[in-house]
Chains A and B, each alone.
Chain A
Amino acid sequence: MVEFLQFTLSGIVFGMIYAAVALSLVLIWRGTRLLNYAQGGMAMFTTYVAIEVIYRTGSYWAGFVVALAAGIVLGAAFQVSVIRPTMNKPPLNGVIVTIGLLTLLEGLAGIFFGGQYRSFPAAFSVTGLKIGTTPLGVSRFDVFTAAAVLVTTLALAAAFKYTTAGLRMRAAAFNATIARLSGIRVARVLTIGWALAGLIGALAGVLVSPSTFLYPNSMDTIFVFGFTAAVIGGLDSPVGAVVGGLLLGIALSYVGGYLGSDLTAAVALGVLVVVLMIRPGGLFSATRVRRV
């Protein structure tokens, strides 16, 4: 029973990270109808930036803030420089460009930061918390991780709901042509969407790296789990992304705990295939499923 509780709690923590990756994918998908395969690569790269800043300044929080800022800059820069020109081409071109970005970032990380595994510091203690004498399987840093993603998500949701900029973004995602006719600068709104996605991705990278180590491919697995979470949630729905992330995180935590961690990726693949076969639109999608 204690074991079950531990797996559940640590599943929630990892689920929040998958949720963050999923959320960044959903943000871009809603605006540009493109899945950003470079999302994991961007997070990996900004985490390397963070580690360099932390070593130079000795301050964790300086690295944390710089990583988030780097995420915003990377997201916006990629959207303006290489994604925008693919918008009027077949969708496959955009997909291949983001794969190119992923490969480019992984290669550059290997060149500048080296290919070896590096440990990444955590903001708070990583020793397990206890209630009485019962170990909970999560640490203070894990609590911070879950809280950070939750706060970011809620802030984002509030911004979408209550600010003018959020309204513009929703309008542009809902119908780009009408939004443009109403005077919204859709191109700029899309860039902001990418910047926000970069920010959330960078957050996920900084939060997950203490438990995975950092190397050029370190975010590959996290990215595919985030992608699976986004698909479970329906790619269109931010709420779905978070719920999908949590469901997947808890499920994979049980698989890893009871069956062995080498099977998590295979089980996630199974989940993805089953969801796509039964509900291709995801569990929370409002869009109609096409039939041909």
Chain B
Amino acid sequence: MQSLPRRLGVAVVVAVIVVLASIKLNTFRDYQIAEIAIEVTAVAGLTLLTGLSGQISLGHGAFMAIGAYTTALLLMHLSWPFIAVLVLAAAVTAAAGAIVGAAAARLRGPYLAGATLMLGVALPSLAYAYQGIFGGDQGLNVAFTAPGFLGATFPLTRWQAWVSALVALITLMLLANLYYSRIGRNWRAVRDDDVAAALDGVNVAAARILAFVVSATCAGIAGALLAIVTGLVAPGAFTLTLSISLLTAAVIGGLGSLPGALWGSLVIVLVPTYVTDVATSHGLSSSVGSNIPVAAYGAVLILVMLVFPQGIQGGLRRILTLFTGPGPKTPTWRHPPTPSAEQARASQHEKEGTS
């Protein structure tokens, strides 16, 4: 999907499918469409951050919280139109992403993962510390209604599904443009070898920070959508489990792949609901049913990383090449080089200055 017209075409087709599906299906499916749209918006940003620029974040739930709380506060106190709220929520999260990114640009993998993990744990606790503004444990209610011209009988969930899907599609389009632009190439260069990238004139720190800003903004937009779809913003929604489920979706789909973000989001949204339904219908208690998906996330993360690090999209690509053969346009950088054990360890030691 390297050309802009093709991407636009795919986006239009998906939009038509979403509209038709939301009219055909019931309210619960509408809600699931919205959920998938929210998930894919956040996961797409994270998959580019981790897969393309090589930085990991375990705190994207915190960025979603920033977007969601900004949305709730603006709608509550200023009652702006949603589009303006969305833009401002994205801007606020981008600023937060820039701050974290500036710190992150100096950190190597394990430190970065830990710092973002800390962010994911610490930020929601501020909602308890400043109850007056953020409503503490109860959170904030978000009033969101369908516009009048659709008629009074138009279901709100369908409108929510449309808005979320539209925002998600626009976000994905913009990210796809970045993916194939000079910025995307810089990220890959920094990921593969930051010294070589610096020698080639790439501003390594700027590239890393920008990746963080873009990815945090996506999470913020997802948070804003989450606020209007669930109608409630409370700290309980932004746990570590949320951040890890985003990472799981990105890994399942295939790190660094935007279509993979969609596959991963479908799995993460649809499978837990299905599993919980099956478990409760077989007479298992709800705590068992709700924990099976969590355990499954973990097992899948481990299995995918050990057995199949390219994820679903990597698998699809391999199946496609079985039929068509590797086309001349297949770019080599899509398969990041996996250094051998000795190389990896040698370069690691070199980086840390140990022998």
Q: Are A269 and B118 in contact (CB under 8 A)?
A: yes
Q: Which residues of chain A are within 8 angstroms of B294 by Cβ–Cβ distance? A: 103, 106-107, 110
Asked if B324 is at the interface (CB within 8 A of a chain A CB), the reply is: no
Count of residues in B whose CB is under 8 Å from the partner chain: 66
Q: Which residues of B contact A292 (CB under 8 A)?
A: 194-195, 198, 204
A16 at the interface (CB under 8 A from B): no
Given contacts A110-B291, A273-B103, whether A104 and B126 have CB atoms under 8 Å apart is no
Q: Which residues of A contact B340 (CB under 8 A)?
A: 88
Nearest A residue to B103 via CB reads A273
Contact check, A108 vs B295: say whether CB atoms are below 8 A apart. yes
In whole angstroms, what is the CA distance A92 to B256 when docked? Answer: 13
B290 interface residue, CB < 8 Å from A? yes
- In the complex, whether A56 has a CB less than 8 A from a CB of chain B is no
Inter-chain contacts of A217 with B (CB < 8 A): 239-241
Say yes or no: A92 contacts B109, CB within 8 Å. Answer: yes
User: A100 contacts which of B50, B129, B194, B300 (Cβ < 8 Å)?
Assistant: B300
Q: Which of A92, A104, A115 contacts B50 (CB 8 A)?
A: A92
- C-alpha gap A115/B195 in the complex (Å): 47
Interface residue stretch chosen among A59-67, A79-87, A121-129, A136-144:
A79-87
Q: Does B37 contact A (CB under 8 A)?
A: no
Closest B-chain residue to A270, C-beta based? B122
Does the CB pair B118–A92 fall under 8 Å?
Answer: no
Shortest C-beta distance, A130 to chain B (Å), equals: 32
Contacts of B111 in A (CB 8 A): 231, 276, 280
Contacting residues of chain A (67-108) with chain B, CB-CB under 8 angstroms = 82, 85-93, 95-97, 99-108
The docked-state distance in angstroms from the alpha carbon of A292 to that of B299 is 36
Residue of A nearest to B58 (CB): A99
Identify B302's interface contact among A82, A92, A109, A228, CB under 8 A: A82
Give 25 A-B contacts (CB < 8 Å), ordered by A residue.
A35-B114, A37-B58, A37-B117, A88-B344, A92-B109, A99-B244, A101-B302, A102-B298, A103-B241, A103-B248, A108-B295, A110-B291, A111-B291, A114-B285, A115-B291, A217-B239, A220-B240, A228-B114, A266-B122, A266-B123, A269-B119, A269-B122, A273-B103, A273-B115, A276-B111
B222-242 toward A: CB 8 Å interface, digit per residue (1/0)?
000000000000000001110
Quote the shortest CB–CB distance from B304 to chain A (angstroms): 8
**Residues of A contacting B345 with CB < 8 Å?**
33, 176
For the complex, give the distance between the alpha carbons of A269 and B129 in Å: 15
- Is B247 a contact of A272 with CB atoms below 8 Å? no
Bound-state CA distance A174–B298 (Å) is: 32
CB interface residues, A 165-201, toward B, < 8 Å = 174-176
Contacts of A114 in B (CB 8 A): 285, 287
Q: How far is the CB of A38 from chain B (nearest CB, A)?
A: 9
Alpha-carbon distance A87/B129, docked complex (angstroms): 42
Known: A89-B338, A110-B291. A272 touches B115 (CB 8 A): yes
* Nearest chain B CB to A111 CB, angstrom units: 5
A157 to chain B, nearest CB (A): 21
B67 contacts chain A at the CB level, 8 A cutoff:
no
- Indicate if B2 sits at the interface (CB-CB under 8 A): no
Interface of B is mostly: helix
Q: Looking across the interface, which residue of chain B has its beta carbon closest to that of A282?
A: B111
Using A93-B305, A104-B299, A115-B291 as known contacts, say yes or no to A227 and B118 having CB atoms under 8 A apart. yes
Interfacial chain A residues near B296, Cβ < 8 Å? 107
Query: Which label, helix, strand, loop or mixed, suits the secondary structure of the A interface?
Result: helix
Closest to A41 in B: B298
**Which of A230-271 touch B at CB < 8 Å?**
231, 235, 260, 262-263, 265-266, 268-269
Number of interface residues of A (CB under 8 A): 63
In B312-355, the 8 Å CB interface with A consists of 338-341, 344-345, 348, 351-355
**Nearest-CB distance from A289 to chain B (Å)?**
7
Cβ-based interface call for B121 (8 A)? yes
**B292 interface residue (CB < 8 Å to A):** yes
What is the distance, in angstroms, from A276's C-beta to the closest C-beta of chain B? 6
Please name 13 further chain A to chain B contacts, defined as beta carbons within 8 Å, in addition to the given A110-B288, A114-B285, A280-B107, sorted by A numbering.
Answer: A89-B309, A91-B344, A93-B309, A102-B298, A104-B297, A107-B295, A108-B291, A111-B292, A216-B291, A217-B241, A269-B118, A276-B111, A280-B106
What's the Cα separation between A224 and B59 when bound, in Å? 12
Decide: A231 near B306, CB < 8 A? Known: A99-B244, A107-B294, A107-B296.
no
CB of B91 within 8 Å of the partner chain = no
Cα–Cα, bound, A142→B129 (Å):
27
Tell me which residues from 89 to 143 in chain B have a Cβ below 8 Å from any Cβ of chain A. 103, 106-111, 113-115, 117-119, 121-123, 125-126, 128-129
Across-interface contacts of B18 in A (CB, < 8 A): none
Which of A90, A100, A228: most chain B Cβ within 10 A? A100
Is the Cβ of B113 less than 8 Å from the Cβ of A276? no
At the interface, yes or no: A221 with Cβ under 8 Å from chain B?
yes
Residue B52 interfacial (CB < 8 Å) = no
A134 proximity list for chain B (CB < 8 A) = none
B106 touches A96 (CB 8 A): no
Tell yes or no: A34 within 8 A of B by CB. Answer: yes
Identify which of A33, A103, A220, A231 gathers the most chain B CB atoms within 10 Å of its CB: A103
